[in-house]
């Protein structure tokens, strides 16, 4: 019985160590879908407003 408990505990330790080693810190793309746009260099975009829409969508407008 002691051998079974020892092997079970060892297995849990090994599995938890492997699971922790595979975790990577979350990045922004894990939370929001990022879409990039190519804009002309002479245009300066500045966020002028941000609104959370019904349904969870995010709307962003520019000042310029």
State the pTM of this model: 0.35
* DSSP secondary structure letter of residue 53: P
Give the per-residue pLDDT at 53. 93
Question: What pLDDT score was predicted for residue 34?
Answer: 80
Distance CA 39, CA 61 (A): 15
Instruction: Give pLDDT tens digits for 5-45.
Output: 777 777 778 777 655 555 678 888 888 788 888 888 888 88
- Please tell me the chain's helix, strand, coil percentages from 3-state DSSP, rounded to the nearest 5: 40, 15, 45
Kindly report the backbone phi and psi dihedral angles of residue 9, in degrees, each rounded to the nearest multiple of 5, phi listed first: -65, -40
Calculate mean pLDDT across residues 41-56: 88
């Amino acid at each position: 019985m002691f051998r079974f408990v020892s092997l079970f505990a060892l297995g849990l330790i090994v599995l938890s160590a492997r699971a922790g080693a595979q975790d990577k810190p979350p990045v922004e793309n894990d939370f929001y879908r990022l879409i990039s746009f190519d804009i002309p260099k002479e245009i300066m975009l500045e966020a002028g407003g941000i609104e959370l829409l019904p349904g969870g969508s995010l709307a962003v407008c520019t000042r310029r």
